[in-house]
Structure 1
Amino acid sequence: MSENVREKAAQSLAMVEEVTAVILPEPTDANAVVTLEQADAPQSAEIRSRMEELDMADTQSIISFGSAAQAELQEISQAMLQDVRNKDVGPAGDSLRGIVTTIRGFSVSELDVRRERSWWEKLIGRAAPFAKFTAKFEKVQGQIDKITDNLLSHEHTLLKDIKSLDMLYEKTLQFYDELALYIAAGEAKLAELDATVIPAKEADVQAAAEEDQVMVAQELRDLRAARDDLERRVHDLKLTRQVTMQSLPSIRLVQENDKSLVTKINSTLVNTVPLWETQLAQAVTIQRSAEAAAAVREANDLTNELLTSNAKNLRDSNKIIREEMERGVFDIEAVKAANADLIGTIEESLQIADEGKAKRASAEKELKEMEAKLRDTLASAKATKTGLGDTVNT
């Protein structure tokens, strides 16, 4: 982490302590709805001033009854929404996850310089383990610097949101109390209408002349309709107050989450990131020492291998040379083999000659027999021509 980022993180620590020290008030029983009869003098004056806002002859005053209390709260909410309308969801959490993912990107197996590259790593030309480790460390350092600066930006934004939520909570609590006054004023007005105004108007209807009775009756009907509209409006105000009551702990929950996240971000910047960088620096130093030791070991192994292989080669070559020096021009075994082959050849020649002589004698005998047989056959043919053949044959 750069010195500039470290200074910013230290400066923001005071702001974190400031916002975390703020304690928001809790809604109490004093915020409950107090009727006009139960209210003290100041509250009674506040309730009566809100009752004066009602004009039963003006429908719009009934519909908008109590809406002025929400104007300031709405302005604060709109200001907050204007700031966060185009923001990404969860950027601070993404940055924290980015740091964890970056650190987890280190594989322990990649720190072993003796590890052979796989066939796939060789095929794609992947860097050797230590070269890849060094490059990855440089990449992580750049990422950490970028993410820490980004986290600082998110931290300031969250601190601003926390302060805005303080204002929103305060105004919401004021709105909650203001609604109680409007509800009390509305109920008091309804009680007044039911007890005095409407009975008086009913009496006017009974006392009116026959030609005016229809108009006065219509006024009574309009008054009762306005009274019902006011009753519905007071009911809506009670529902709004209940929803407002539920929004107060929601605001506090969001604030607590933001405060926790700000505290975590600040702790990450001040404590965790430097610790990570220290550990990574130690990992690089240890790896370089291991690489140097491996180089020395390889040199010693090469020297021992040369000594051993040279001694073996000398012994093998000396044996071959001495054996060749002690051999004669012709090996006795070769002479014996040649002599045996020669004797065998002569014997085979004599045997073949004897067999040929026997075959010729046999062939000569057969030739003589064939010749005698041919002669006898020819003699038989001559006897047939002289007419003596038959007698002879008989």
Structure 2
Amino acid sequence: MTETTRQKAEKSLALIEEVTAVVLPEPVGEIVPLEKADKPVAAEIRKRMDEIDMDNTNSIISFGSSAQDELREISQAMLVDVRNKDVGPAGDSLRNMVTTIRGFSVSELDVRRKRSWWEKLLGRTAPFANFLARFEKVQSQLDKVTDDLLGHEHKLLKDIKSLDHLYEKTLNFYDELALYIAAGEEKLKELDEKTIPAKAAEVDKAPENKQVMKAQELRDLRAARDDLERRVHDLKLTRQVTMQSLPSIRLVQENDKSLVAKINSTLVNTVPLWETQLAQAVTIQRSAEAAGAVRDANDLTNELLTANAKNLRQANKVVREEMERGVFDIEAVKTANAELIAMIEESLQIADEGKAKRAAAEEELKQMEAELKTVLASAKARGDKVGDTAGGAVPDIK
């Protein structure tokens, strides 16, 4: 709601209190006859009796009609004003406002929810962006309906004042009818008790040649008297209907006052409350987004701290292990020493084996030489000169 609209709504509250404070007078039910009326009322009754001319039928037919002239003017002015109103009922605007607010789904207030896969597939905007778009649209609609309600409120206030005036004039007409009815009844009483008996006496006393004319005058007087009686009866019926219209006017006024109060309450209380709730929803979402950003920053900081601590621990372990190691690892020294010992032992074993093989070979050589000498000696001893040549090739071994 704009500030101008809010000020208009608050300003109209004083007008509502003004029209609500008006106390309308209650109608008086009884008709006071002439003999019981006080001097001012009696004078008014006699004044209206003087309007009756028994020789003029129109005066009887129109008796009491002048009391309706002012009331008719007010009623016609109100009807013209109603015809000039080219607007819908105020209730329609209230319903439009309710429809506008209800069209804003409560689920849309949950702006923190994530889009479903279907919404993502269709490319729909995020809930909060959609919420802000709907808020702007509904806000503009609400401002328009609010302006319409203000217009209806002013028209209803004008109608209430017009109804006050109509009630006042209707009540005056009601009281005026009482005077006319009292005047008519008094005139009928005068006719029945004085005028008609006197006219009948004139007929009886009239000469024979004038009795027909006098009798006709008596019949005309009695017919006029009957017309007046019927007119007074009509005025009584009109007064009864008028008395029934007074509470109807009051009822319409009360309905208009209730509707005006409802409109003003909607403008002053309901609409600002609704706007406040929406503003709170927007603020809460923005706070939630800010808190989410802070949470993400804190999570990133914690992740960095944790990762750096782990990296520092691993690097420190590697450095400290390298710092605490010797030039040679003891295991490597032990392995090298074991290999060296094994090599020496293997070398000694190979040397011993070679020495034993050489000694064995030497014995075999001696045996082979001895065998060869034996064979040669045997050949030389045969005396066929074959052994001499062969034996000379073998050196003596001592």
What's the counterpart of residue 9 of structure 2?
9
Of residues 35, 43, 46, the one that matches 1:45 is: 43
Contact 2:114 2:126 in 1 (8 A): no
Offset from partner CA, 1:345-375 (integer Å, 9 cap, x none): xxxxxxxxxxxxxxxxxxxxxxxxxxxxxxx
- Counterparts of 1:298 and 1:239, CA distance in 2: 85
Q: Which residue of 2 aligns with 1:321?
A: none
> Does residue 173 of structure 2 align to residue 175 of structure 1?
yes
Q: Give the match's secondary structure for 1:4.
A: helix
Cα distance in 2 for residues equivalent to 1:229 and 1:15: 49
Check whether the contact 1:66–1:179 (CA below 8 A) recurs between aligned residues. yes
- Larger deviation, residues 213-222 vs 50-59: 213-222
Partner residue, 1:85: 83
Which of 257, 264, 267 is residue 265 of structure 2 equivalent to?
A: 267
Contact 1:50/1:185, CA 8 A, preserved across alignment:
yes
Find the aligned partners of 1:185 and 1:228 in 2 and give their Cα distance. Answer: 15
Deviations 1:32-54 (A, max 9, x none): 20111111222111111100000
C-alpha distance after superposition, 1:64-103 (max 9, x if no partner): 1001111111111111111112436862111111111111
| Deviation (angstroms), 1:260 | 1.5
**What is the DSSP-based 3-state SS (H/G/I as helix, E as strand, rest coil) of the residue aligned with 2:36?**
coil
Q: Tell me what 2:252 maps to.
A: 254
1:133 CA displacement: 2.1
Shift of 1:198: 1.0
CA distance in 2, matches of 1:253, 1:91: 17
After superposition, residues 99-248 of structure 1 pair within 5 angstroms as: 99-110=97-108, 111-112=110-111, 113-116=113-116, 118=118, 127-248=125-246
Task: Report the Cα offset of residue 109 of structure 1.
Answer: 2.7
**Which runs of 5 or more residues in structure 2 are unaligned?**
304-398
Distance 2:42 2:271 in 1: 59
Query: Do the aligned partners of residues 168 and 117 (structure 1) sit closer, same or farther apart at CA in structure 2, a change above 3 Å counting?
Result: farther
* Structure 1 residue 237 displacement after superposition: 0.3
1:204-353 alignment, distance < 5 Å: 204-290=202-288
**Which residue is equivalent to 1:355?**
none
The letter for the 1-side match of 2:281 is A
- Pairing 1:22–2:57 present: no
Superimposed CA distance per residue, residues 212-231 of structure 1 (whole angstroms, 9 cap, x where no aligned partner): 22221111111111111100
Percent sequence identity over aligned pairs:
76
The equivalent of 1:94 in structure 2 is 92
Q: What is the aligned-residue RMSD (CA, Å)?
A: 2.6
- The C-alpha deviation readout for 1:128-176, integer Å capped at 9, x for no partner, is 5433322211111111211222211111111111111111111111111
Q: How many residues align?
A: 298
Q: TM-score, normalised by structure 1?
A: 0.70
Q: Are residues 1:36 and 2:55 paired?
A: no
Identify if the C-alpha distance between structure 1 residues 96 and 117 changes in structure 2 by more than 3 Å, giving closer, same or farther.
Answer: farther
Contact kept, 8 Å, 1:162 with 1:255, in 2: the verdict is yes
Instruction: Identify unmatched segments of 5+ residues in structure 1.
Output: 305-394
SS of the residue 1:195 aligns to: helix
Give the Cα–Cα distance (whole angstroms) in 1 for the partners of residues 281 and 22 of structure 2: 42
Aligned-partner Cα distance in 1 for 2:165–2:121: 62
- Which residues of 2 match residues 63-74 of structure 1 at below 5 A? 63-74=61-72
Tell me the distance in 1 between the aligned counterparts of 2:242 and 2:57. Answer: 25
Task: Say whether the 8 Å CA contact 1:117–1:128 is kept in structure 2.
Answer: no
Letter in 2 for 1:258: D
The change in CA–CA distance for 1:209 and 1:250 in structure 2 (over 3 A counts) is: same
Name 1:383's counterpart in structure 2.
none
- Structure 1 counterpart of 2:19, one-letter code: V
* Normalised TM-score (structure 2): 0.69
CA distance in 2, matches of 1:89, 1:203: 68
Q: Distance in 2 between matches of 1:298 and 1:199?
A: 114
Q: In structure 1, how many angstroms separate the alpha carbons of the residues matched to 2:231 and 2:209? A: 35
Partner Cα separation in structure 2 for residue 169 and residue 117 of structure 1: 66
